[in-house]
């Protein structure tokens, strides 16, 4: 038996530019998203996650024309999140080539939309994103609208609600760890993963594939999403889009055969 957890590059875009944030703030221009997608095609990654980090804040719908351009260049499965408010938008995203839809703010503001989406596309195609930040008292609290609005429910409660509605996966983001390249919030990921029976994709803080291994083995995540580790190289954080090889993942014991 071959154990092969998913490693997912997560690309943040705004105004048709590829950017990288730190703690969900100060987006830094990195390059052209379509060029990045082409490179990841060559690297043979499992899938790609595209997030428009300003769409909801700016109260605009997904940029369908540009997202269609991205999809036409991608030879791997795509997921998308950002600015989604209606079932018509969701259907259009599937139509132009996206296999999974990621929903954050609308999950809290309009859970009926999630039910509609699951009924239309199936649980495996709908992902709820939960963004988490530590408050002054070190409690983990949940946010929507790109980390700008706090909600009453904590991450575990939101994850359980998403599972009840019927979504297929949770994308769990640590706002505190975003962009720091100091590792995932393992405690957060483990707590949420052990509270539900659907897969959790961990995101926020990965420096390298060792961090990915830790969040899967120690945090009990089903998949590891990351941005910085695929975009930056070296101490000076030079921009170099890359991905680990299959052999590198086998060598560290992340991919392995089980007899």
The owner of tokens 């983001």 is 173
Beta-sheet pairing, 25-31 with 100-103: unpaired
CA pair distance 148, 135, nearest whole angstrom? 13
CA pair distance 50, 19, nearest whole angstrom? 11
**Catalytic positions:** 131
**Contact criterion met (CB below 8 Å) for 75 and 52:** no
CA pair distance 163, 52, nearest whole angstrom? 24
CA pair distance 231, 138, nearest whole angstrom? 30
CA pair distance 117, 172, nearest whole angstrom? 20
């Amino acid at each position: 038996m071959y154990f092969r957890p998913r490693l997912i590059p997560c690309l943040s875009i705004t105004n048709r530019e590829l950017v990288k944030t730190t703690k969900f703030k100060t987006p830094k221009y990195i390059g052209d998203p379509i060029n990045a997608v082409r490179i990841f095609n060559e690297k043979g990654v499992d899938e790609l996650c595209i997030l428009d980090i300003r769409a909801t804040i700016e109260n605009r719908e997904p940029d369908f024309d540009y997202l269609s351009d991205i999809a036409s260049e991608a030879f791997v499965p795509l997921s998308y999140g950002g600015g989604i408010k209606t079932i018509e938008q969701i259907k259009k995203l599937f139509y132009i080539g996206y296999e999974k839809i990621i929903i954050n703010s609308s999950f809290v503001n309009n859970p009926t939309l999630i039910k509609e989406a699951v009924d239309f596309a199936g649980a495996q195609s709908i992902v709820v994103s939960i963004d988490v930040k530590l408050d002054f008292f070190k409690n983990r609290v949940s946010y929507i609208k790109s980390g700008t609005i706090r909600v009453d429910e904590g991450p575990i409660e939101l994850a359980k609600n998403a599972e009840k509605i019927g979504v297929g996966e949770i994308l769990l983001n640590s706002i505190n760890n975003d962009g720091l390249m100091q590792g995932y919030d393992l405690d957060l990921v483990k707590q949420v993963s052990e509270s539900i029976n659907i897969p959790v994709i961990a995101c926020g803080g990965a420096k390298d594939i060792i961090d990915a291994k830790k969040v899967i083995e120690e945090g009990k995540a089903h998949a590891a999403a990351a941005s910085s580790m695929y975009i930056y190289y070296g101490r000076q954080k030079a921009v170099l889009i890359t991905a680990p090889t299959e052999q590198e993942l086998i060598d560290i014991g992340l991919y392995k055969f089980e007899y």
